[in-house]
Structure 1
Amino acid sequence: MTPLLFLVVAVRAWNIGNYPFPNDDEGTYLAQAWAVQHGELAHYTYWYDHPPFGWIQLAGLSWLPAWLLPDLPTFVHGRIAMLPVVAAGAALVFVVGRRIGLGRPAAAVALLLYGFSPLAVTLHRQIYLDNFAVVWALAAFALALSPRRHLWHHVAAGSAFALAVLSKETIAVLLPVLLVALWQGSHRRTRTFSFAGFGSGLVLTGLFYPLYALLKGELLPGAGHVSLLGTLKFQLGGREGSGSVFTDGTDAHRLVLDWFARDPYLLVGGCAAAVLALAVRRLRPVALAVVVLVAVGLRPGGYLPQMYVAQLLPFLALALTGLGHAAIGRLPARHRKAARLRLVRPLAGTALFAAVVVAIAPHWYAKDRTTVLGDDNGVYYAASAWLRTTPVGDRARLRVVTDGVLWLDAVAAGYRPGTGAIWHYKLDQDPAVTAKIPRGWRDIDYVVSTPALRGERQHLPTLRDLFAHSDPVASFGEGDGRIDVLKVRKQGEQ
């Protein structure tokens, strides 16, 4: 497993800062990790939209890249911090594969399918909470299926799954599947104790989050504050959906088409294998995980996030490999008539692996090559360097508007968090910010115009005014992906 892990991590690390193009979610999670490290407020108001454990973990991992490579843009520090998460997830795919009955070669194939899928290579580079949640969920499955059937393994499985939910709440849909795995992994004489221990670990660990909200007076909805239950109600029933996956033109339809364009083989093959693998008892937990996650993703009217498929990928790889392993296992171990074909199963396994490689390798190579050689983010490198190095006066007294990705770079350059470095969305949305800029756009000095800002200016009046009353002083890149630094014209300037 170890050489394969080095290979998988190397593919993620190669060109990690230059592809794919960063988005505001990455900036938000990294800023929240920075807030944990420094005891400050991030640019994004916390309203219980996600549990905090994901960026607490990110805070523990991201300080080292920031210390070793301070001149890189901050989002690159966050992406480098995701590499240990990638290694842990890939190792746990191997471990879970072994615990559902795969031999070492088959478990290694599952690791490779997971490690080199173009979807995984791209999503694992980005700063997503789902990547943390998947690691803890896989750890929970590995503990629930432990061959030692130790009670404390089952208690730890409950705690691990609670940490998965506290990293990204959407993975909670896998709880019934994990209970199936625990049923299979426990001894019938001690199963009651195993489930009690699992429940104790799950509840006692998971209760930290509602306890945190209760102690802050933010568990129940009320006037003048956010709340855990109020946000949960919004997430379940009040949030605008992505439309039906099966309706042309909806956000969900476009997103799923993008997933299939990147890797149709693992998605189609893994889903088909999961349906067939339901008939194989030892494969049932991973097959059920695929079925449940796909059913949740296909529900009509729900919200389908871009990174949702990251939760599905390890179980697709395990289901596909597990079904092939089970099919080969039904062959005779030795051919009865031909002495030259004494080892039927190894030959069949090798042939099946070769067929899979021939089928998927050209597509995967092309997509992964784009990832490891792409150069989409030079504009963010240049804008980050401009913020840090260009003489503009006393940055502690100036105000600059940025998107979520560059906000932390502005803070690192010396602009005051929140009132000096201002996230563009808060110009018209946050009373604490608007109180500091009573004259609106006239109180701003610079705007770092990124694609995200230009896409929002029609919806935010102050941002629209800033674009109308500013001039470019620096420009990086060209076309829709360019970044412009705009200086706001002051009174009397032409």
Structure 2
Amino acid sequence: MRAWGIGNYPFPNDDEGTYLAQAWAVRHGELAHYTYWYDHPPFGWIQLAAVSWLPSWLLPDLPTFVQGRIAMLPVAGATCVLAYVVGRRIGLVRPAAAAAVLLYALSPLAVLLQRQIYLDNFAVLWVLAAFAFALSPRRHLWHHVAAGTAFALAVLSKETVAVLLPVLLVTLWQGSHPRTRKFSFAGFGSGFVLTGLFYPLYALLKGELLPGAGHVSLLGTLKFQLGGREGSGSPFEAGTDAHRLFADWLTRDPYLLVGGAAAAVCALVVRRLRPVALAVLVLALVAMRPGGYLPQMYIVQVLPFLALTLAGLVQAGIARLPGRPRLRIAAALAAAAAAVAVAGPHWYEEDHSAVTADNNRVYRDASRWLRETPVGDRAKVRIVTDGVLWLDAVDAGYRPGTGAIWHYKLDQDPAVTKTLPHGWKDIDYVVSTPALRGEREHLPTLRDLFAHASPVATFGEGGGRIDILRIENEPATQIESTPATQIQNNQ
């Protein structure tokens, strides 16, 4: 389900290109393809660097975001295995644990978001590993140390999962023996703190822990992340970004979201299900807080816990039925049939679209243009792209950073602006994508580029099209009214 049509759907998100470019930088000895400003801990794209080199080597002709998505397949597979392990360790019988994995793996939201190159996918893998170690039936001290280490690696992959720390402590309390519990907590704390300290220690050694003039800083960026960026509004208020995001999630999969959330409230009274139920409720409360920033991929963190809670509560209900085992087997089959009848048609429609739709031809065409169209000496040509196509431009021979320029850095990074003494006049081409056009009103240099650009090729039509724009000395006119039919390039 993940691999079928992975390069065709969904439409690329600029974050995917950013993380993939940062993974490329790791393979070349840096933490980011531009100045690393502590926007996220780097362990997520360090892992991406470790898994993405093979698809890029085996399939060099594919657009780089497709190569990156293929690299996410083993991450999705390992996450499903760990979801099964956690299910078994909270007391699910094998069929129930397998059902939880199916609920998780076939959910349209998981099919959509686990294909994409998101740090949350790495974080969820490590969170599930931490839960599996904390619930280890052997109750070995080193398992609890490993739980702390795994959770630290989850936070270093995507810092937002740190809100699950209280839940994991409750899990460790349930999974440890009363006589050795204090050693279990000490071991967990040691693994978590000693692993997590690598990040602030790196910033300290670079002189970038505290804010100051002339450099980025870990604490300065953290302050911005917590209070400086614009919030998404309340999910209960129509018209806000959070409300639209919740509506989109519920449109794609109302059954697992509503069913799993309801199950989490009921499962709090079942001791063995309490860890996964608390995880659902904590993550849901964080998502529903008014005024906070809520990204599209946040729901990735909740999905496995929703599936485990729902499957666990159904099993608990069936176990309470009186009578012979045959009655319970019949009840389990009836529950499975009811799930298929209720959610099956909607899931089939959503998943069928995911594996058959082709939304990304424009990106494949633009990537081919970058690689094949002669524009002179690419090492000297300057081209502005969005995050998704930046690495394609680099692979095509454009100079990283100051030749192939990520549009977001035009006015944001002094290392780039100092190489453009004449501003927009120093740029030769712009690859105009939906993400790039959406930012032009906020970036003065990008706005000037659009005012002095003429299209040489167009791929697709409407708002999802991609235009190749050549920068002219004279102002361009009516760029937005350029016909949306494809303009053939010289080839």
Task: Give the TM-score normalised by the residue count of structure 1.
Answer: 0.94
1:169-318 equivalences under 5 Å are 169-318=159-308
Consecutive unaligned residues in structure 1, runs of 5 or more: 1-10, 335-341
Q: CA 1:169 to 1:491, structure 2 compared with 1: closer, same or farther past 3 Å?
A: same
How far off its partner does 1:46 sit?
2.1
2:358 is aligned to 375
Q: CA 1:193 to 1:333, structure 2 compared with 1: closer, same or farther past 3 Å?
A: farther
1:323 is aligned to 313
2:418 is aligned to 435
Given the alignment, which residue of 307, 314, 328 partners 1:345? 328
Q: Distance in 1 between matches of 2:85 and 2:31?
A: 39
Does the CA-based 8 Å contact 1:20-1:377 persist in structure 2? yes
**Equivalent position amino acid for 1:203 in 2:** V
How far off its partner does 1:196 sit?
0.8
Q: How many residues align?
A: 477
Q: Is structure 2 residue 149 aligned with structure 1 residue 166?
A: no
Given the alignment, which residue of 129, 148, 157 partners 1:139? 129
Higher mean alpha-carbon deviation, 41-50 vs 27-36, is at 41-50
1:3 is aligned to none
Q: Distance in 2 between matches of 1:491 and 1:433?
A: 24
How far off its partner does 1:430 sit?
2.2
1:478 is aligned to 461
Please give the per-residue CA displacement for 1:289-308, whole angstroms capped at 9, x wherever unaligned: 00100011111111111100
1:324-473 equivalences under 5 Å are 324-334=314-324, 343-473=326-456
Q: CA 1:123 to 1:188, structure 2 compared with 1: closer, same or farther past 3 Å?
A: same
Given the alignment, which residue of 110, 116, 137 partners 1:120? 110
How far off its partner does 1:40 sit?
4.8
2:9 is aligned to 19
Q: Distance in 2 between matches of 1:165 and 1:462?
A: 36
Q: Distance in 2 between matches of 1:134 and 1:41?
A: 22
Q: Distance in 1 between matches of 2:412 and 2:236?
A: 35
Does the CA-based 8 Å contact 1:181-1:285 persist in structure 2? yes
Q: Distance in 2 between matches of 1:491 and 1:436?
A: 22
**Equivalent position amino acid for 1:453 in 2:** L
How far off its partner does 1:333 sit?
4.9
1:106-117 equivalences under 5 Å are 106-117=96-107
Q: Distance in 2 between matches of 1:492 and 1:359?
A: 58
How far off its partner does 1:331 sit?
1.2
Please give the per-residue CA displacement for 1:43-71, whole angstroms capped at 9, x wherever unaligned: 45322121000000000000000000000
Does the CA-based 8 Å contact 1:43-1:422 persist in structure 2? no
Please give the per-residue CA displacement for 1:113-141, whole angstroms capped at 9, x wherever unaligned: 00000000000010000000000000000
Q: Distance in 2 between matches of 1:476 and 1:138?
A: 42
Q: Distance in 1 between matches of 2:476 and 2:161?
A: 54
Does the CA-based 8 Å contact 2:34-2:401 persist in structure 1? no
Q: Distance in 2 between matches of 1:231 and 1:430?
A: 15
SS of equivalent residue, structure 1 residue 369: helix
SS of equivalent residue, structure 2 residue 202: helix
Does the CA-based 8 Å contact 1:42-1:418 persist in structure 2? no
Q: Distance in 1 between matches of 2:372 and 2:388?
A: 18
Does the CA-based 8 Å contact 1:43-1:423 persist in structure 2? no
Task: Give the TM-score normalised by the residue count of structure 2.
Answer: 0.95
Does the CA-based 8 Å contact 2:452-2:474 persist in structure 1? no
Q: CA 1:200 to 1:405, structure 2 compared with 1: closer, same or farther past 3 Å?
A: same
Please give the per-residue CA displacement for 1:419-461, whole angstroms capped at 9, x wherever unaligned: 1001112222222222212122221111111111222222222
SS of equivalent residue, structure 2 residue 343: helix
2:48 is aligned to 58
Does the CA-based 8 Å contact 1:155-1:201 persist in structure 2? yes
Q: Distance in 1 between matches of 2:31 and 2:144?
A: 38
2:480 is aligned to none
Does the CA-based 8 Å contact 2:145-2:189 persist in structure 1? yes
Does the CA-based 8 Å contact 2:318-2:331 persist in structure 1? yes
**Equivalent position amino acid for 2:25 in 1:** A
Q: CA 1:491 to 1:235, structure 2 compared with 1: closer, same or farther past 3 Å?
A: closer
Does the CA-based 8 Å contact 1:379-1:477 persist in structure 2? yes
Q: Distance in 1 between matches of 2:230 and 2:448?
A: 28
Q: Distance in 1 between matches of 2:423 and 2:219?
A: 35
Q: Distance in 2 between matches of 1:401 and 1:127?
A: 22
Q: CA 1:35 to 1:429, structure 2 compared with 1: closer, same or farther past 3 Å?
A: same
Does the CA-based 8 Å contact 1:28-1:44 persist in structure 2? no
How far off its partner does 1:41 sit?
7.0
Given the alignment, which residue of 102, 110, 120 partners 2:92? 102
Q: Distance in 1 between matches of 2:413 and 2:82?
A: 42
**Equivalent position amino acid for 1:312 in 2:** V
Q: Distance in 2 between matches of 1:182 and 1:40?
A: 37
SS of equivalent residue, structure 2 residue 62: coil
Higher mean alpha-carbon deviation, 272-281 vs 224-233, is at 224-233
CA-based RMSD: 1.5
SS of equivalent residue, structure 2 residue 469: strand
1:36-55 equivalences under 5 Å are 36-40=26-30, 42-55=32-45
How far off its partner does 1:490 sit?
4.5
User: Identity rate of aligned residues, in percent?
Assistant: 78
**Equivalent position amino acid for 2:22 in 1:** Q
1:339 is aligned to none
Q: Distance in 2 between matches of 1:134 and 1:126?
A: 14
